[in-house]
Structure 1
Amino acid sequence: MNITYRDLIDQTYYFPTEEFDLEGDRLRFHGVSLTDLIERYGSPLKFTYLPKISQNINRAKDWFAEAMEKHDYPGKYYYCYCTKSSHFRYVLHEALKNDIHIETSSAFDIDIVENLKAQGLISDRTYVICNGFKREAYVDNIGRLINEGHRNCIPIIDNYEELSLLDEVIDQPFKVGIRIASEEEPKFEFYTSRLGIGYKDIVPFYENQIRDNDKVELRMLHFFINTGIRDNAYYWNELNKCLKVYVRLKKLCPSLDSLNIGGGFPTKNSLSFQYDYAYMVDEIVNQIKLTCEEGDVPPPNIFTEFGSFTVGESGGAVYKVLYQKQQNDREKWNMIDSSFITTLPDSWAINKRFIMLSVNRWDDPYERVLLGGLTCDSDDYYNSQQDMNAIYLPKFHSGKPLYIGFFNTGAYQETIGGFGGLHHCLIPQPKHLLIDREENGEVFISVFSEQQTARDHMQILGYGPGPDGEPEAQTSLRTGKKRETAS
């Protein structure tokens, strides 16, 4: 009878995989022993395996190169990294090793771009695609970047007022794109994306605000749907509508030469995950070329903005099972040494599921459990895998430590969770490791951030010590007079 955790995985999935294998009864991730990491650095623990970022970038570039060669596609392909997926320096530094470009979403992104330029990691030839709703600071920062010579900065117009705001702060000719407000899936909570300008309004917007403005050159049409790039009727229908707008607009605007299809490639959320990336790229390139040929216009350069696909599969988190609570005759709660709400917020906020595996004790019998976080919040739990409505782990034993790993968590979790700040119930942020590998295979590990301390939280909360913990002097709202305080 197959009763061990190893047996369960073997009979449920094809194992080992590209990312995972075993050393004895202990799990390895890209050849790195997670047990060794735990023994050296403790738990809870977060880590980023940097080589995976470059690997995924180059996989996508190869897919597009192969599809364009197959279909004799005349345009070029540009890979942009969507910075909001993870703004961290170590991510950008790894990604920019691969001759890519950048997509931004807010004002402070431009400060990051300027920092990268100062370090020589990007240049004026690097495309900086500026998406998002643009408030004054974002507009000013875009204007500064362009005025200082970054001619490949392309702000994507999101609403009817943005072009005039940009025109006021930019003192030279500049390029723009227009974002299409795509229609959402029928089951979605609203019909049309709040981002961009409606399909039927794109051409009138160009004719009214861009065509006769000698300072502005329309270069890009931007298209993205919330559910991502999927092989279903909804995606192909929306892409076809976008291409029809591109053809119509291209006939009116000779300078238009690029189509940005956004991001949306999925990341693996299960060992049984299946997605034919190469087929999807091939069909997208084919559809773009066919539609443009039918419309008698040149096919555009293709831009993508992959964020989660770039960085998601590089990340992981490891927790220790502290204790098991038998709450009734059916439910066993394994309590971890951290919180799902704070360290994997997508699992709580949007019910996202990640690959979850035991790190050790693969040769022990398994049991069905629920996972609970440390916060006193009923929503701090994890109760199922992506491909099964249950969680199975080696049986809890107070004398045999059990560790579990969550994988492909590298996109959004740190920023949504509030890296370096306060977390629900003051659960500390875990230690974060960076894992790199030389060409000869040697692995190097560095500590990016230590686990938060009580002192860190006290300072943020205003309890001190030091000037960061002292509130500003109180001032009268009516007279502006400062209040005297006792020494």
Structure 2
Amino acid sequence: MNTKYIDLINQTFDFPQEEFKVEKGQLQFHDIDLMALTETYGAPLKFTYLPQISNNINRAKRWFDEAIKKHKYKGKYYYCYCTKSSHFKHVLDEALKNDIHIETSSAFDIDIVEQLKATGKITDDTYVISNGFKRAQYVTNIARLINNGHKNAIPIIDNYEEIDLLSQEIKGHFNVGIRIASEEEPKFEFYTSRLGIGYKNILPFYKSQIATNEKVSLKMLHFFINTGIRDNAYYWNELLKCLRVYISLKKICPTLDSLNIGGGFPIKNSLAFEFDYEYMIDEIINQIQLTCEEEGVDVPNIFTEFGSFTVGESGGAIYEVLYQKQQNDREKWNMINSSFITTLPDTWAINKRFILLPINRWQDSYERVLLGGLTCDSDDYYNSEQHMNAIYLPKYHKEKPLYIGFFNTGAYQETIGGFGGLQHCLIPSPKHILIDKDASGKLVSKVFSEQQESADLLQILGYDTHK
């Protein structure tokens, strides 16, 4: 009988996969011996596998290059990383090895850009695309960057006041983009994005505030939808509407030469995940080219802003199952030694699913369980997977420790969870490990941050920890 956990996975999925394999009953992720990592550093822990950041960047750049060559597309492609997905220095350092550009979303992002410039990680040739609603400090910081000679800084106009605010602080000529306020899918609670300017208002806005302003040139049209890049009627319809705006503007605005199609590439959230990235990129290039040719206008340069796609698949979290609680005839709760709310907040906030697999005991029999976190909050649980109605894990045995891993968690979880700050019920943030390859290709790891201690949290709370 096939009753082992590994039998369940082999029968349910195409396994092993590119990043996952099992050796001697233990899971490996990109050839990382996760059990050895756990034995070295303990659990709970989080880790970042830095080479995967470069891997994904270069995959996307290759797909766009191939589509551009296939269609003889005359525009260029620029890969931008949106820093809000993960602001950590080790993430930016890895990403910037690959000739990419930066997208920012707040005032302090510009301070990071200036630090990166000071250390030679980016230059004046690096595009800095500044999105978001711009409060006074953000405007000031963008102006400072441009005034100090960064001519490839492009603030994306989000509302009608920002042109005047930027013009007041920027000394010379500068380029801008306009963000389209896209219409949302019918299932959304609102009809139109709060970000950007409505389709029908963009042309009048350009004529009244940009065409008449000698300091400003329109360089870019910015298009982004919340649900991301998907092969469905909604996405293609919104892209076509965006292209109509681009064409209308291009006919009266010769400086407009770039279309930013935002981000939103999905990342793997299940062993059953399927998404044809190459087809989507090929068809996007094809649709842009066909539409522009029909109207007799030059095709735009293409910018993308990939955040989760850049960094998401580099991250993981490992927990130990501490105890099993049989709460009724049907429900077994495996209690982990951390909290989902604090360490993987998207599982609680937006019901996001990550790949969940045991680290060890793949040769053992399995059972259906629920997973509970340590906080006293009733929402601190993880109870279903994308591909099945319940979680199946190797059977709990008090004498045989079970470790479980969540994978592709590298985007947003630290910033949303408040890295280094207070955590719900004062559950400490886990240790964080960086994994890289040395010059010979050997995996190396080091501690980026230790697990929080009582004194760290008490100090934040204002208690005197020296008494």
Q: Provide the C-alpha distance between the structure 2 equivalents of 1:237 and 1:438, rounded to a whole number of angstroms.
A: 46
What secondary structure is seen at the aligned counterpart in 1 of 2:457?
helix
Once residues 283 and 98 of structure 1 are traced to their aligned partners in structure 2, the CA distance between those partners, rounded to angstroms, is 25
- SS of 2:205's equivalent? helix
1:69 aligns to 2:69 (yes or no): yes
Structure 1 spans left out of the alignment, 5+ residues? 470-487
State the partner residue of 2:233: 233
Query: Per-residue CA shift, 1:258-300, capped at 9, x if unaligned?
Result: 0000001001000010000000000000000011111110000
Residue 350 (1) aligns with residue 350 (2)? yes
- Which amino acid letter does the alignment assign opposite residue 116 of structure 2? L
Give SS of 1:252's match. Answer: coil
CA distance in 2, matches of 1:21, 1:146: 49
- For residues 446 and 207 of structure 2, the distance between their equivalents in structure 1, rounded to whole angstroms, comes to 54
CA distance in 2, matches of 1:19, 1:346: 23
Q: Which residue of the partner structure matches residue 484 of structure 1?
A: none
Alignment partner, residue 413 of structure 1: 413
Residue in structure 2 matched with residue 128 of structure 1 by the alignment = 128
1:214 is aligned to 214
Q: What amino acid is the match of 1:149?
A: G
Deviation at 1:23, TM superposition (A): 1.6
Instruction: Report the residue type matching 2:249 in the other structure.
Output: L
Looking at structure 2, the residues matched to 221 and 109 of structure 1 have their Cα atoms a distance apart, in angstroms, of 21
CA shift, 1:439, in A, is 4.9
The within-5 A match list for 1:107-122 is 107-122=107-122
Per-residue CA deviations over 1:164-222 (Å, capped at 9, x if unaligned) read 00000000100000000000001111000000000000000000000011110100000
Does residue 337 of structure 2 align to residue 337 of structure 1?
yes
Which residue does 1:253 correspond to in 2?
253
| Equivalent runs, 1:87-486 vs 2, <5 Å | 87-465=87-465
Counterpart position of 2:33: 33
The match for 2:23 is: 23
C-alpha distance in 1, partners of 2:383/2:200? 45
- 1:473 maps to none
CA shift, 1:440, in A, is 2.8
- Residue number in structure 2 paired with 1:42: 42
The whole-number CA distance in structure 2 between the counterparts of 1:439 and 1:261 is 36
1:116 partner SS: helix
- Equivalents in 2 of 1:366, 1:413: separation in Å? 29
Cα distance, 1:416 vs. partner? 0.1
Which ranges of structure 2 fall in alignment gaps of 5 or more residues?
Answer: none
Taking the aligned partners of 2:458 and 2:132, their CA distance within structure 1 comes to 35
TM-score (norm 2): 0.99
Rounded to whole Å, the distance in 2 between the matches of 1:237 and 1:440 is 48
Counterpart amino acid of residue 386 in structure 1: Q
CA distance in 2, matches of 1:53, 1:346: 21
- Structure 2 residue aligned with 1:13: 13
Q: CA–CA distance in 2 between the matches of 1:182 and 1:59?
A: 28
Residues of 1 paired with 2:80 and 2:438: CA distance?
25
Structure-1 separation of matches of 2:49 and 2:396: 29
SS of match in other structure, 2:207: helix
Instruction: Map Cα deviations across residues 72-108 of structure 1 (whole Å, 9 max, x no partner).
Output: 0000000000100000000000000000000000000
Whole-angstrom CA distance in 2 between matches of 1:321 and 1:426: 19
Take 1:156 and 1:389, find their aligned partners in 2: how far apart are those partners?
43
> Residue by residue, what CA displacement relative to the aligned partner does 1:386-409 show, whole Å, maximum 9, x if unpaired?
111100000000000000000000
In structure 1, distance between residues paired with 2:327 and 2:439: 50
Q: Tell me the amino acid that sits aligned with residue 141 of structure 1.
A: N
Separation in structure 1 between the aligned mates of residue 380 and residue 244 of structure 2, nearest angstrom: 46
What residue identity is the alignment partner of 1:347?
T
TM-score by length of 1: 0.95
Amino acid at match of 1:19: E
Deviation at 1:438, TM superposition (A): 2.9
**Cα distance, 1:465 vs. partner?**
3.2
The 2-side partners of 1:20 and 1:441 are apart by 18
Identity %: 75
Separation in structure 2 between the aligned mates of residue 248 and residue 387 of structure 1, nearest angstrom? 44
AA of the residue aligned to 1:98? N
Q: Secondary structure at the match of 2:405?
A: strand
1:56 deviation in Å? 0.1
The separation in 2 between residues aligned to 1:206 and 1:105, in whole angstroms, is: 23
Which amino acid in structure 1 is aligned with residue 225 of structure 2? I
Q: 1:226-280: CA deviations, max 9, x gaps? A: 0000000000000000000000000010000000000010010000100000000
Q: CA deviation at 1:329?
A: 0.4
> Structure 1 residue 2: deviation in Å?
1.2
- 1:483 equivalent in structure 2: none
SS at match of 2:285: helix
Secondary structure of 2:251 counterpart: helix
The residue matched to 1:110 in structure 2 has which SS?
Answer: helix
One-letter amino acid matched to 1:73: Y
SS class of match (2:271): coil
CA RMSD for the aligned pairs? 0.8
State the structure with more CA Rg: 1
Instruction: Please give the per-residue CA displacement for 1:274-329, whole angstroms capped at 9, x wherever unaligned.
Output: 00000000000000001111111000000000000000000000000000000000
**Residue-by-residue CA offset, 1:47-69 (whole Å, 9 max, x unaligned):** 00000000000000000000000
